[in-house]
Chains A and B, each alone.
Chain A
Amino acid sequence: MDAAGAILGFTVTLMVLSYLLGDNALYRLAIYIFIGLTAAFVTIITIETVLLPLTTSTGGVILLGVAAFFGLLLLLKPARNGVWLTNLVLAFLVAVGVAVALVGALTGALLPLTSATIQSVDREPLAGAVMVTGVVTSLIYFQYLARRGQNGLTGNNPLIAVLRTVGQGFIVVALGTAYGLAILSGLTIMSGRIAALLGGGI
């Protein structure tokens, strides 16, 4: 069984890698299989771990009924006269999701990061100064306001231009770092996959 799995995995891996030669039937077949299996698996997991447990209690059944009702409303999407019901449900989902994310972003990310940026100056003056400089100049880089002169031309304040350039430098470094790490992740996965095909461990 393990051998069969290894052979199957090897074959599917090669099929996926065949995309290097361009879009082809083997690649698409592998992708379709993966997506199909994933969708089926997610469905099973959802049914087993989410839906079925709800049926064991009255409250769960009520909740399931509400969810089913919302699901049915989503099915009205193709109906021209019923699309507003679908939008109602989607609006609810989007609003809740956005509200949750917004609260999380503010309380968990923005405010703490702002505080951390400020505090970094106290902890490590040099590194903190660099951090503050990077944050401020990066923000300045993303402003596009300019005053139009009498000659019809637009121009930035020289100081702003300099700060934008500095901010651009920080952004380049940050994006470059992220890009490099993304490559490293890719290499990790690649090496792991090849090692697995060759019989190695994780």
Chain B
Amino acid sequence: MTPNDPPMPDDFDWMNDPESELPAQDDALGFTHELDWRQPQPDAAESATPPDPEWFDLDDPESEEIADWLDDGLSDAQPDWANEKPDDAPGRTEAESPESVGSGLTEDLFDGTIDEADKTLFAEDPEPLEPDLPPDWLEGFADDEGLWSADDASDAAAYATDPADWDEPLPFEASYEEMATEFPDFDEDLPAMEGAAADGQRTRDDVPPAPEMPEADADPLEDEPAWLASTDTAFLRDVMATGPDDDLDAPEEPSTGELLEGLFDDLVTPADDDELTYIDTSLGSGDIEALLDDLDTDDLAPMQDGSTVDPNLLAGIDDMIEGPGDRAMFDADDLVAWDLEDAVVERPDWLDAIDDMPDVESDRNAAIAALAAQAARIDADGDDEIPFMAADYGALEIAGDDDGFELPDFPDLEIDEDAAHVTDAELAPPDTGELGAPDVEEVDFEQWLNDDIETFGDVDELPEWVRDLQAERDDNSAAAIVRARYEDRPIDELDPRLQALHERGLLVGEAATDDLPPFEGEAGMAGLAFGEVLGESELDHEAPLDADEEHRRGLVAAILAGGLAGVALNAASPPEGDAEAAFDGVTDIAEIGGGAADVLEAPPRGRLVPGLGWRRPRIARLVIALMLFGAVLLPLLLNLRIGEAPPAVFASGGPAQAVFDAVDRLAPGATILLAPEYNLAAAPEMDALLTAVVQHSAERGAQLIVTGSNPLGIQHAVARINEIPGARIAGIRLLPGGAVGVREWLTNPAALTADMTFAGRAPRTLEELGAVVIVTDGLDGFRPWAEQIGPAVTAPVLVASAYSVYPMVAAYLDGGGIDGALAGYRDGMTYWRLLGMPFGPTATDTATTTPTATATVTATPTTTDTATATETAVPTTAVPATDMPAPTREPGQGTAGAAAGDGTATGLATRATRTARPLPTDTATATPTESATPTPVPTDTATPTTTPTPTDTATATPTPTATPTSTATPTPTPTVVLVPYARIIAEVSVNIRAGAGTSFQIIGIGAPGESYRILDESRDGQWFNIELPDGGAGWLARALVEVIELPETTPAGGAAYPAIRLVAQQSGAAEPPPVPADSRYEARWSAMTAGLLAVIAIIVAGVIQAIIRQLRQRRKR
């Protein structure tokens, strides 16, 4: 009833007028003119008796239908409840107002559908019920305003739903007996609630069968979903039962399948075809859940499309839930408050996050929080843009993280009957009503904001915050932010590349303006957009169509020409070159200057390769490659010598010399941690360094632990090391995990060396290492060692790096974690020369290796390295005299080393002893001999203390004061023998005792892997007498050790000296052969030099060409 409806006459006795039932019946049932089965029969119009009251409009189709219906004889079966007055009818009391009529009878007549039982009630009700509606006991639950509360309605619905529970205490805290006592009519009213008697005398099944109804095109009852006929529809029935019974102003288009669909969209979102995963708890209740439990989603489809079930059967539902105006039975708060205790859902974590938000003060914040949670979910699927957008709205606060998108975890919502109950505050965003708990599983966030507004109905029904997000989204995207930053920025402040692009775009436009048709239509829009990119960043975005017409034509021309040319070029290019080719197409237009036509008419470049399209030969690339190949090949093939060979010594005090000195100071038996962190591709460069360092360490009697995080590097290095005579590998250890693996050396070095075989005591800590050597071709392989191991060890950390890494490696020098560094092949070759390894003497060497009695040096002006070395030729490393066999020199022999500029005593001393690479042999039982015999080698055999006097002139003739420190004093040289060692093979530490038996005192502990020299064994052979590191002796059980043979490293004379070198000296090399000249390395060095020159030439040529090109372009402009 609307205010505009005519008032009822005062004398109208609607209570006794059969026609007066129509309004109540129509409203309660939600009947409309669209109900097929209620369509008037052909003769209905004639037999109808229109009701007299003014409010019953004969012209109203609904009234006509009602009249027709009544003429069919149903009026005789009208129940007394139908005598209820309209709200504005005379005599209507407040208690009978429609709002207060939560009639169980009404509910009984309409339980969501019109079924046979309902029709039977109209047709023949043997015992019409008393018209005292609503029952007083139900009325008691109405509030002061006569309105039912949501809880009451729910309770009543639950009560009426399941008669089986009548024996149980009623849901509204009153037992059946109490109710019956309190309300005399209670028993009588109960049957009306469900159509069944409380005493069991009458049930739904007792209702007589319905009479045959008028035929319709299709009997909708046959298509009624099973769930609608079930008792679980109590919620819907209850909703309708509490509706206004005088509603004659039902919408002209009463509830349809669409609205029902909207209702169910709110109620349930099926995760798949047959599973319900989520209940929108803003509408939820235990009744809804009960309904949904029996709900077959297959029924939803016909409901939604209305193809098989007349949606009008469900008329009235929407009126109850979201009816227009004041007819809405519930507002959002009611729905939320409705029996939330029965809402069974699994509380999502994001609710906690929302609760924890410090500034949840508005609907918007709460909604944003929910959006952020959804964004996080979407981001898990790989969409990065959504979180960014959500973050722009401040949703990051949800996780308390300003720097990232660490949004709360968002588990799937599932129905879980055991889950804890939740409260309305937890489930509903404050006052938003429409939002509810978002369905994170199914709702597409982006689509939600864009097009999928059906969830909310019309656009106007969208929550305000959603409309705000839609409006603001474009201004908050990443692209929009970037655009905004550059939008109003003067061109001259742009990056030079952007400026160049801008100029290029203008040029393109000018070149093609005259060749293309006028600007029109969509092409013009595209041209404008293109112009924004290429040339017109200052275009007014508010009025793009007002741009200069001529300019737009030019831009369109550029687009068409560039685009088509790009397409053509793309076809001739591999797919990955699309963007480049397209840009080339544009720039080519600019260079041609003749407009787009020439480009369009030009045939595709390159040749058509079957299956690959048009391919363009990369002429420039091939030319460059051939130049490089030629430059590198010629020295190798023709034995050309280009450039100057690497210097014979390192710069004194430099990082390379530091490496050499550190290795040269190693004590015999010292352990080196060698990390070959390079790949096979870099082997041609890195092997030179690896070989040099390992060779040197082997000559010092050191042993190697080959370790690292690169298995290929380790394997390759081991192969190389095995080729180096004298090199000994104590163990190999791969460190998986990169930096984390390297750190294992800090945390548990003993475990890493447990299964290794050491000559002597195994290093238990990093402090016991002799050196750490890293051979690397990349920063990633180098940093973990320098940054983690470097600061933790006292041993020198030495790095041999590729050229490309050296700048970064050098940064770690001088307290940065490393103590010395070698760079590239050049330092490798110098290192070889210092070791006396085969590398051809340079011209300088040749000139100075001629022995002269005066040791006169002719410093070649061009040998700057030599000059430098000479200037700083101060011995920086004092090698103990006992470590070095005193080099001897025949009187009169030249000081070749000094002549060559080997300014360091270390270098000279080293060279003096490396006349041949020693070859270890098991039969090497050298005996001490005296090296009294001079070694008249024309090369380095002297250790002069050079004090050159460098001059700045090229003709300087330094006069070294060669003061040989060597004497002819025979130096007792130790022997090298293989002696037995007892290596501990037990997995745990073992006891070293004072005697051959467990009854003796424990005097030490031996770790697994450690080796001790065997001095003797017990009589029974079960114990070994071993030599302890402190020189003492102890006993080890034989069962705990294995016997191995290791070279004796302690010289007989007591001086420590690399045994391997002694082997060489004792093996008859009384006169070591001169270092052979190996032209291969010189040739390779020349090849590198030639290649470098070629590269320089290529770069210079490229720069010149670019300059010429720029000049030509400027001239054109």
Contacts and interface: CB of A to CB of B under 8 A. Distances in A.
Interface in A85-109: 96-97, 100-101, 103-105, 107-109
B615 A22 contact: yes
Interface in B614-635: 615, 618, 621-622, 625, 628, 632-633
A202 B1083 contact: no
Contact of B684 (A53, A81, A192): A192
A119 B636 CA distance: 46
Contacts of B684: 188-193, 195-196, 202
Interface size class of A (residues with CB under 8 A): 35 or more
B1078 A201 contact: yes
Interface string A168-190: 00000010011001111111111
A97 B739 contact: yes
B711 A46 contact: yes
Contacts of A42: 711-712
A20 B685 CA distance: 22
6 contacts: A45-B711, A97-B739, A178-B804, A194-B636, A195-B684, A200-B1084
Which 10 residue pairs are nearest across A and B when measured between Cβ atoms?
A192-B684, A104-B787, A108-B787, A45-B711, A182-B804, A185-B804, A181-B803, A188-B685, A184-B803, A191-B1087
Interface in B654-677: none
Contact of A112 (B618, B736, B817): B817
Nearest to B987: A57
A157 interface: no
Interface of B: 380, 409, 412, 488-490, 493, 574, 615, 618, 621-622, 625, 628, 632-633, 636-637, 681-685, 687-688, 691, 711-712, 714-715, 732-734, 736-740, 743, 755, 777, 783-784, 786-788, 790-791, 802-804, 806-807, 811-812, 814-817, 824-825, 987, 1078, 1080-1081, 1083-1084, 1087-1088, 1091-1092, 1095
Given A20-B621, A185-B682, A187-B1095, A200 B1080 contact: yes
Contacts of A32: none
A108 B987 contact: no
A118 to B, nearest CB: 11
A192 B755 contact: no
A116 B814 CA distance: 7
Given A84-B409, A109-B817, A101 B804 contact: no
Contacts of B1087: 191, 194-195
A23 interface: yes
A129 B596 CA distance: 56
A50 B743 contact: no
A11 interface: no
Interface in A132-156: 152-155
B1080 A201 contact: yes
A153 B877 CA distance: 63
A63 B787 CA distance: 26
Contacts of A55: none
Interface in A65-93: 81, 83-84
A57 B622 CA distance: 58
B1091 A187 contact: yes
Contact of B685 (A104, A120, A174, A192): A192
Interface of A: 20-23, 38, 41-42, 45-46, 49-50, 53, 57, 81, 83-84, 96-97, 100-101, 103-105, 107-109, 112-113, 115-116, 119-120, 152-155, 174, 177-178, 181-196, 198, 200-202
Contacts of B682: 185, 189
A198 B637 CA distance: 8
B790 A108 contact: yes
A105 B791 CA distance: 11
Contact of B740 (A100, A109, A190): A100
B806 A104 contact: no
B685 A178 contact: no
B787 A109 contact: yes
A96 B615 CA distance: 48
Contacts of B691: 202
Contacts of B633: 194
- Looking at chain A's contact residues, is the secondary structure mostly helix, strand, loop, or mixed? helix
Nearest to A51: B736
A188 B825 contact: yes
Contacts of A46: 711, 734, 736
A187 B804 CA distance: 11
A113 B636 contact: no
Contacts of B737: 97
A41 B716 CA distance: 12
Nearest to B790: A108
Contacts of A81: 412
Contacts of A96: 740
B811 A113 contact: yes
A119 B1078 CA distance: 44
Contacts of B687: 192, 202
Nearest to B733: A49
B580 to A, nearest CB: 14
A139 to B, nearest CB: 15
Contacts of B732: 49
A182 B778 CA distance: 11
A201 B824 contact: no
Given A100-B788, A191-B1091, A153 B738 contact: no
A101 B783 CA distance: 9
Given A100-B784, A154-B493, 20 more contacts: A20-B622, A22-B574, A41-B715, A42-B711, A42-B712, A53-B755, A100-B739, A101-B787, A104-B739, A107-B791, A108-B783, A109-B783, A113-B811, A181-B807, A185-B803, A185-B804, A186-B804, A189-B681, A192-B683, A201-B1081
A45 B734 CA distance: 8
A113 B816 contact: yes
A108 B807 contact: no
Nearest to A153: B490
Nearest to A43: B711
Contacts of A103: 787-788
Given A45-B734, A109-B787, A187 B1092 contact: yes
B814 A191 contact: no
Contacts of B734: 45-46, 49-50
B824 A23 contact: no
A50 B777 CA distance: 24
A105 B806 contact: no
Contacts of A50: 734, 736
Given A104-B784, A178-B807, A116 B715 contact: no
Given A96-B740, A101-B739, A202 B681 contact: no
